[in-house]
With several copies, the nearest count.
Chain A
């Protein structure tokens, strides 16, 4: 149990720079998720911390100690692999005891600890089985128990849930969260499922091409993404990109390729500059424009966008409206709350939002 700090970490495989001056600080006792598209270096980061790979540059600290040159088996880490990597020739009990035996604990102590952890993961009755005789979910819990029982300073989880099917996965997420809360071990969790990351973790780190794009609480990263990569990576989003013509308190007039619109925004940009704004589909209030409203200038002058519904995708709890606003396609998500549907394909609708929902993106050039 200690915080982990990564400073200017660079890792190359041959010519390929996989991690590029990566900086990361993982607070003590928290669960941090590492998110990012395939190949962005998540697994590599984990493997560097574990010590399976050597960094080309930079430092890794666990607690106060610089661990770059400490061999794997002395780093006191716990790791759960995607494939679980349970030792197939050992029983569940032996698998879990393995790490303790390496630490030269007494027999009684080992027995006590193994029993306790098997109890925690609800596998007390399965100690004598071989891994093959367990279901995927049970195997996953054995892998977790094996990693936890040695009380590592840091727990590393590499997509350890992605081999499970959806239903089991959700169950395991809940269990995992519970167990980690009980033990309070600093955990680094790699996944490429954003929903999983969001529901499970204290902090989310979004990586892109070997660098950290943003780190924050789930809410923060989702609601206040720094740039369009993060915004687009987590959840769906509508982007508005153009040149700011006019900027007012909480409103900007944006000249986009499909026309000019006045947007209600959280933060204005300087007039004359290029800017990108983003709104998430669920943040849009969709209101049907009746024929009479259409003539009424009142609504027209209200801030927001007007468009025509092109199609509606029904997916049970939500419906997604694809709306054509003057040539720009905008998605809006509406919860199906059981009220009679009033909006149909072809209807004119008015889209509005809280100014805080329209987020300005920091774009690197």
Chain B
């Protein structure tokens, strides 16, 4: 029993550490001071200011848009990839199952810079195409991992059962494979979406001037005047993510864990 209490205390300590900055951030969104200085004076003015802050709202819209496109692309590419790699066997199998995870082990700094160099090598202007490409590359592994875990758990006998009942390949895909992959597609898409939504480094390197995303806006507001509006918007995002997480968590269940599994079954 004593042992259990000690364990819980330890967990509490860690969670405290984990949540300290988040609490501070939320706290400061209700603080009067523009410079996040103490003493604390309660105020909702930063939330009110948020309403009129079109820059931040545009940035938010852009982030949502980029993340949405990225999420969709990742789900499509990931699903196709995972379905295809299912039939690959022999010496290629290992390569194909670990290939998509590779970008996870490259620091974003390097990923972003190398793409930037690529743009430069082709004498191009920065453009949205490369922003999407960069976002997709770093978000794709998450979709693939979730989908891979799911498809490994799928019994190949299901496809055969469907065929034996008279369904052709297309019907089997539409009525069996797709519905069964759907939760993983939602989960993987959501993760890729979040990864892209939150990404600063890649956008920072690749985004064309004049277009801004929320992380970039946050970074540039750190540059030109960080007002607690950022705290307010972050607090709102946390709230919304929590809701999404609850919804997605319910759909994807245990595949959540497989994400961080490095693809090892």
Contact = CB atoms under 8 A, between A and B. Distances in A.
Q: Is A in direct contact with B (CB under 8 Å) within the complex? A: yes
Interface of A: 50-52, 71-79, 81, 83, 85-89, 98-99, 102-103, 146-147, 150, 156
A75 B164 CA distance: 8
A81 B159 CA distance: 12
A147 B164 CA distance: 8
Contacts of A103: 166
B165 interface: yes
B171 A78 contact: no
A74 B166 contact: yes
Contact of A79 (B160, B171, B175): B160
A83 B160 CA distance: 12
A143 to B, nearest CB: 8
Contacts of A150: 165-166
Contact of B180 (A75, A88, A147, A156): A88
B13 interface: no
A241 to B, nearest CB: 43
Nearest to B176: A87
26 contacts: A50-B160, A50-B164, A52-B163, A71-B163, A71-B168, A72-B160, A73-B167, A73-B168, A74-B166, A76-B166, A79-B164, A83-B155, A85-B155, A85-B158, A85-B161, A87-B158, A87-B161, A87-B162, A88-B180, A98-B162, A99-B166, A102-B165, A102-B166, A146-B165, A150-B166, A156-B164
Contacts of B179: 89
A50 B163 CA distance: 9
A81 B160 contact: yes
B186 to A, nearest CB: 14
A263 B166 CA distance: 57
Contacts of B161: 79, 81, 85-87, 146
A247 B180 CA distance: 67
Contacts of B155: 83, 85
B111 to A, nearest CB: 35
Contacts of B38: none
Contacts of B168: 71, 73
Name the 8 nearest CB pairs between A and B, nearest first.
A99-B165, A102-B166, A85-B157, A72-B163, A85-B161, A79-B164, A81-B157, A102-B167
Most chain B CB inside 10 Å of its own CB: which residue of A50, A85, A147? A85
B180 A77 contact: no
Given A83-B157, A87-B158, A89-B180, A102 B171 contact: yes
A150 B175 CA distance: 18
Contacts of B162: 87, 98
A50 B155 CA distance: 17
A79 B161 CA distance: 7
A52 B158 CA distance: 12
